[in-house]
Amino acid sequence: MADSEFPGWHGTTIIGVRKGGEVVVAGDGQVSLGQTVIKGTARKVRRLSPGGYDVVCGFAGSTADAFTLLERLEAKLEATPGQLQRAAVELAKDWRTDKYLQKLEAMLIVTDGADLYVITGAGDVLEPEHDIAAIGSGGNFALAAARGLMEAGGDAETIARSAMAIAADICVYTNGNLTVEKISK
């Protein structure tokens, strides 16, 4: 998309940290339109429980697009209970090949407490190295901070919260109003 066509929205930092048998997904609450903060308390991290199988998802990008993808992921999880990787791959295949879904502008971090994936519209299902995944405009800041904090000690939640605080201090499209979900297997 050319810069002249870009709608002017930025925002969101989502991080997933796996450590000590648990995964924490944290996301900020800021929604920006151009230079303006539209909302500071958005909830971009959600828990899905299709058929009693818990999955935590965080999303960056267009909210309506992300909700469309979350609904599709939930349907895939219902069709393949307990198989997050399979559901994620099926969602990525649909996202890549379906004419409607191809236009969706969002990214997802998903976990069932054991596996941790980033799902993109390019058809990618990525399992991150170093047990950390981060997306959104402040994602690289949070990722770098979390990588440094992993060796310093602390549990997954402490690392995720600290990395998000660092990202919020650096990225103008990220705030410190967090939603945090923890899951373990």
Instruction: Show which residues are catalytic.
Output: 12
Q: How far is CA 159 from the centre of its chain?
A: 16
Alpha-carbon dihedral 130, 20, 90, 31, rounded to 10 degrees: -80
Q: In sequence order, which ranges of 16-155 are alpha helices (DSSP H)?
A: 63-79, 84-97, 139-152
Q: Which residues, other chains included, contact 42 with Cβ-Cβ below 8 Å and sequence gap of 6+?
A: 29, 30, 31, 63
Sheet of strand 132-136: strand arrangement: 132-136, 13-19, 22-27, 179-184
The answer to whether the Cα torsion of 27, 29, 31, 36 is positive or negative is negative
